């Protein structure tokens, strides 16, 4: 009997200690969350909705990241934000693993929540056709905190047009010191042109590659030389078999130093006997091309068909 009582007391004590420990951990977890205002709790905790067109991120397109207001986890990138005119911030993609989906209490919509803390964000819709991805995350501004993109003085961008952007992007992506090479459009008047707009000559844009590079590893002049060495700057109607205004050879310069550098290289090539037709134009708005154009040759496991490296300098 005494043994039974002792065992019972030990078991009860262990159970009590376990339950107490769990409660303490839960309390500690809650303390990690940011303190919310009454209105923030209404939306984030009690699954409310802010008034349309009232949120501060509705008509907001600065470069940066969007974090969960409650726990601070990363949710969305500004690269995936688009204008839908629905009254709430809209994204067509999420940070991988950041969003949890659940059937809404209305049984029809799909609710989206922070995967880390369960904060209510809004709803996700598909099939509306706003973007190529055909998805719209409709998010309450009050559920998020925006962190602007960190400006790094060592990072710079350059813009080159040398025919089909698939090949130019691929070769620049192999260049040491280049952080990223992105296919897109520049030089026309139409906002946010599509590939069809550009290829049919409706917008005046050229196929352009945005090269982001580390100035401590590679300089603008070296990049410009590389540009002249991966395409034919003497072809005046396009590049290789790709004929048309959108395929012309152009350097879009950001400042006078870049213009002078590019002009110097053109003169060097002309003195070497190259009849260079490359134009120099001031950089304007760069519009990123559709997703299926990005990393095209890597996706297809192929090599460029009209861009090859040939040393000229």
Q: What was the pLDDT predicted at 27?
A: 33
- The answer on 97 and 53 residing in a single domain is yes
21-59 confidence digits (pLDDT tens):
333 333 334 446 888 899 999 999 999 999 999 999 999
Tell which of 148, 181, 214 closes a domain. 148
- The answer on 241 and 190 residing in a single domain is yes
- The answer on 276 and 190 residing in a single domain is yes
253-266 confidence digits (pLDDT tens):
999 999 999 999 99
**Of 68, 114, 117, 138, catalytic:** 138
**Of 68, 114, 117, 164, catalytic:** 164
Catalytic status, residue 138: yes
Mean pLDDT confidence for 169-182 = 92
Q: Which domain holds residue 68?
A: 38-148
Average pLDDT, the chain: 87
- The answer on 173 and 75 residing in a single domain is no
- The answer on 295 and 163 residing in a single domain is yes
Domain of 120, CATH number, reads 2.170.150.20
Both tokens of 46, joined, read: 């009690």
Catalytic status, residue 117: no
- The answer on 221 and 88 residing in a single domain is no
Domain of 233, CATH number, reads 3.30.1060.10
Domain count, the chain: 2
Tell which of 113, 148, 183 closes a domain. 148
97 within domain boundaries? yes
Least confident span in 83-92, 194-203, 242-251: 194-203
- The answer on 79 and 45 residing in a single domain is yes
182 within domain boundaries? yes
Beta strands in 40-154 (DSSP E): 64-68, 74-77, 81-82, 90-91, 99-103, 110-114, 120-126, 135-139, 144-148
Q: What was the pLDDT predicted at 6?
A: 38
Angle between helices 256-271 and 220-229 (to 10 degrees): 40
Select the highest-mean-pLDDT range: 27-41, 78-92, 280-294: 78-92
130 within domain boundaries? yes
């Amino acid at each position: 009997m005494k043994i039974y009582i002792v065992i019972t007391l030990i078991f009860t004590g262990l159970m009590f200690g376990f339950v107490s420990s769990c409660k303490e951990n839960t309390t500690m977890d809650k303390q990690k969350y940011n303190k919310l205002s009454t209105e923030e709790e209404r939306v984030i905790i009690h699954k409310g909705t802010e008034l349309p067109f009232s949120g501060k991120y509705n008509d907001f397109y600065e470069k940066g990241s969007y974090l969960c207001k409650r726990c601070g986890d990363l949710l969305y990138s500004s690269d995936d934000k688009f204008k839908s005119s629905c009254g709430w911030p809209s994204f067509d993609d999420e940070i991988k693993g950041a969003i949890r989906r659940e059937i809404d209490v209305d049984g029809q919509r799909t609710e989206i929540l922070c995967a880390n803390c369960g904060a209510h964000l809004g709803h996700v819709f598909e099939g509306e056709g706003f973007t190529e991805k055909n998805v719209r995350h409709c998010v309450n501004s009050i559920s998020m905190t925006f962190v602007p993109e960190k400006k790094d003085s060592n990072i710079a961008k350059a813009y080159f047009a040398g025919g089909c952007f698939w090949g130019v992007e691929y070769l620049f992506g192999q260049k040491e010191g280049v952080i990223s090479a992105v296919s897109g459009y520049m030089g026309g008047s139409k906002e946010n042109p599509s590939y069809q707009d550009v290829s049919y000559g409706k917008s005046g844009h050229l196929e352009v590659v945005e090269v982001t590079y580390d100035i401590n590893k590679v300089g603008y002049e070296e990049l410009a030389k590389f540009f002249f060495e991966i395409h034919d700057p003497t072809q005046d109607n396009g590049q290789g078999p790709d004929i048309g205004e959108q395929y012309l050879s152009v350097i879009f310069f950001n400042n006078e130093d870049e213009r002078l550098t590019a002009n110097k290289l053109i003169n060097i090539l002309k003195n070497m006997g190259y009849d260079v037709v490359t134009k120099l134009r001031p950089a304007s708005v760069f519009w990123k091309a559709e997703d299926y154009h990005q990393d095209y040759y890597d996706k297809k496991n192929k090599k460029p068909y009209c861009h090859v490296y040939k040393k000229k300098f």
